[in-house]
Amino acid sequence: MTPADQPNALELTGIGKAFGGVVALRGVDFTLRAGEIHGLVGENGAGKSTLMKIIAGVHAEHDGTMRVNGREVVFRSASDALAAGIGMVHQELSVVPELTVAENVFLGVQPTTNFGIVDWAKMFREAHEQLARLGIDVNVRQTMGMLPLGVQQLIELGRVLFSGAEIIILDEPTSALSPPEIERLFETLRRLRASGKSLIFISHFLDDVLAICDTVTVFRNGRKIATMPAAQIDKLWIIERMIGTGHEDLEESYTSERMLEAPPNAPVVLESQALCKLGAFSDVSLNVRAGEVLGIYGFMGSGQLEFARALYGKIIPDTGTIRIDGKTLRAKNTAAAKRAGIALVPESRRSMLFALEPVYKNVSISILERLSALLLRPGAERRVAQEHVEQLHIRPPRVDLPLGNLSGGNQQKVALARWLAYLPKVLVLCEPTRGMDVGAKDDVVKIVRGLRDAGLGVIVVSTEPETVLSLADRIVVMKKGAVVREFTNEAVSKDRLLAAA
């Protein structure tokens, strides 16, 4: 059969989907040809995962029609889609950490003996063989949760790639993988394509998308914007369509520039020299001056969050040095980092705040050490907290409320208030405005500028270009664990950041 006679692997027409009031997809037509690797790109929230979940039967309620190999289908569940030959690796890792590697590989489809009981010997043998094809050499009897995240991700990939599915969907599968692991994955994808499988590949790494895909489709704001053969387009073409030129969405123009200043003529407060952590980041050298906000931008999995944790002693680097005020930080733990003057507000607020405790306790926790040296007085604790709560416009401005009663944005401000009460030399902020509304974001921008003007060195780590663009005086871009570009004393814009990452 020539390709022309062959029905398309998938044909979607007029797909729409809303969650409550939020429209995630509207009027999407999408075709996956048999035997192609089709790349799907678009900013966070563009609707990529939602469309894939519709194809995989996860979202049964939607508008529009779907054909698989030319035949119309209606999926009521993920197992309907599976039965139709559709396999999906989800963006969120969905392994079962308590089970063995082999059980995860055969989740739900364990080989059985003639008597209907699980054939363990066969399962272990086949799991081992499958994983070896992806270059994974692990003891398949081991508990899944004990393995590094990247390996767990590869095992999950293996499960779907070798499940026999004819249509394979990979939703951002490379974010936890190292370059050699990605190369091996790509070899496997090419082999699967050669054997006639059809694949959809979602990734933020546009170079990867262009390297591995035959066709690329761009999504923006729940709409399909364009589909093109990969050979006829380049990275900039994709970026322009991903972010729009600004005039059709009445929102801000993303290509608008911001002028960065030269670093201030002030001493370096933090310096990282050739910092390495296997599997997370390598050879990261950078510095921050007093009175400067350094932005570190990169896609999810580029190593910037791990680097931030290493600065605070939460991750022990393999090699390299950290200096504070020119002094090498010898002990590698959070207590030593704190003593040296480093503070960290992590991306997950839950890990450092106490939802059931009142606001004032959450603010004062960092000064407790100092206050308790004197003798802790609840009055003093409350008074200090009240000042900061007012200064930061925390709503409602009541320090006795349990923290859990505040909105996420206000909780984040409490996390910041803690460091206002105990001024560090270097403040590391991870995803400081994620999930906040515009007003709360503005407050954070003001707070961070205030801290900078008070002489702190601030590091803002984010996967959102808008966050570093609105906060940073200088920006470094990390990609796959390494610093690849620095923007300083020059114009920078969202499309330039994306192009560098």
Ligand X SMILES: Nc1ncnc2c1ncn2[C@@H]1O[C@H](COP(=O)(O)OP(=O)(O)O)[C@@H](O)[C@H]1O
Partner touching 334 among ligand X, Mg ion, none, CB below 5 to 8 Å by kind: none
Joined together, the tokens standing for residue 374 give 């004197």
Span from 17-25, 191-199, 203-211, 420-428 in contact with ligand X (CB under 6 A): 17-25
Smaller CB separation from ligand X, 54 or 500: 54
Backbone Cα Rg of the chain: 25
Joined together, the tokens standing for residue 425 give 């030399």
As a whole number of angstroms, the distance between CA 501 and CA 499 comes to 6
Smaller CB separation from Mg ion, 91 or 227: 91
- Give the residue, chosen from 10, 11, 30, 42, that forms a contact with ligand X under the rule CB under 6 A: 42
Binding-residue total with ligand X (CB under 6 A): 11
Kindly state the smallest distance separating residue 121's Cβ from ligand X, in Å. 40
Is residue 24 a contact residue for ligand X (CB under 6 A)? yes
Is residue 44 a contact residue for ligand X (CB under 6 A)? yes
Span from 42-50, 140-148, 150-158, 385-393 in contact with ligand X (CB under 6 A): 42-50
Kindly state the smallest distance separating residue 43's Cβ from Mg ion, in Å. 10
Q: Which of 254, 215, 212 is nearest to 233 (CA)?
A: 215
Is residue 49 a contact residue for ligand X (CB under 6 A)? yes
CB atoms within 10 A of CB 469: 22
Kindly state the smallest distance separating residue 274's Cβ from ligand X, in Å. 34
Strands 482-487 and 327-328, by their bridges, are unpaired
Kindly state the smallest distance separating residue 350's Cβ from ligand X, in Å. 20
- The torsion angle over the Cα atoms of residues 259, 265, 266 and 272, rounded to 10 degrees, is 60
Contact between 415 and 406 under an 8 Å Cβ cutoff? The reply is no
Kindly state the smallest distance separating residue 49's Cβ from ligand X, in Å. 3
Span from 18-26, 287-295, 407-415, 420-428 in contact with ligand X (CB under 6 A): 18-26
CB atoms within 10 A of CB 4: 5
Is residue 204 a contact residue for ligand X (CB under 6 A)? no
- Give the residue, chosen from 9, 41, 46, 310, that forms a contact with ligand X under the rule CB under 6 A: 46
The secondary structure of 52-106 as a DSSP string is HHHHTTS----EEEEEETTEEE--SSHHHHHHTTEEEE-SS----TTSBHHHHHT
Partner touching 173 among ligand X, Mg ion, none, CB below 5 to 8 Å by kind: none
Is residue 481 a contact residue for ligand X (CB under 6 A)? no
Partner touching 142 among Mg ion, ligand X, none, CB below 5 to 8 Å by kind: none
- Give the residue, chosen from 3, 4, 19, 115, that forms a contact with ligand X under the rule CB under 6 A: 19
Kindly state the smallest distance separating residue 45's Cβ from Mg ion, in Å. 8
**List of residues contacting Mg ion (CB under 5 A):** 49, 91
CB atoms within 10 A of CB 369: 10
Is residue 348 a contact residue for ligand X (CB under 6 A)? no
- Give the residue, chosen from 22, 74, 250, 373, that forms a contact with ligand X under the rule CB under 6 A: 22
Joined together, the tokens standing for residue 421 give 């009460």
Which residue type, as a one-letter code, is found at position 116?
G
Is residue 465 a contact residue for ligand X (CB under 6 A)? no
As a whole number of angstroms, the distance between CA 79 and CA 85 comes to 10
Number of alpha helices (DSSP H) and beta strands (DSSP E) in the chain: 17, 22
Is residue 47 a contact residue for ligand X (CB under 6 A)? yes
Nearest residue by C-beta to Mg ion?
Answer: 49
Kindly state the smallest distance separating residue 22's Cβ from Mg ion, in Å. 14
Smaller CB separation from ligand X, 44 or 348: 44
- The torsion angle over the Cα atoms of residues 406, 408, 410 and 412, rounded to 10 degrees, is 130
Span from 44-52, 73-81, 317-325, 329-337 in contact with ligand X (CB under 6 A): 44-52
Partner touching 282 among ligand X, Mg ion, none, CB below 5 to 8 Å by kind: none
* 345-361 CB burial, b ≥16 within 10 A, e <16: bbbebeeebeeeebbbb
Kindly state the smallest distance separating residue 42's Cβ from ligand X, in Å. 5
As a whole number of angstroms, the distance between CA 475 and CA 91 comes to 28
Q: Which of 497, 500, 465, 461 is nearest to 484 (CA)?
A: 500
Kindly state the smallest distance separating residue 54's Cβ from Mg ion, in Å. 13
Is residue 221 a contact residue for ligand X (CB under 6 A)? no
Class of residue 291 by CB neighbours under 10 A (exposed 0-12, middle 13-18, buried 19+): buried
Is residue 158 a contact residue for ligand X (CB under 6 A)? no
Q: Which of 227, 223, 259 is nearest to 244 (CA)?
A: 223
Span from 43-51, 329-337, 429-437, 448-456 in contact with ligand X (CB under 6 A): 43-51
- Give the residue, chosen from 16, 45, 85, 320, that forms a contact with ligand X under the rule CB under 6 A: 45
First to last CA, the chain: 42
Is residue 48 a contact residue for ligand X (CB under 6 A)? yes
3-state DSSP assignment of residue 492: strand
- Give the residue, chosen from 41, 50, 260, 477, that forms a contact with ligand X under the rule CB under 6 A: 50
The footprint of ligand X (CB under 6 A) covers 19, 22, 24, 42, 44-50
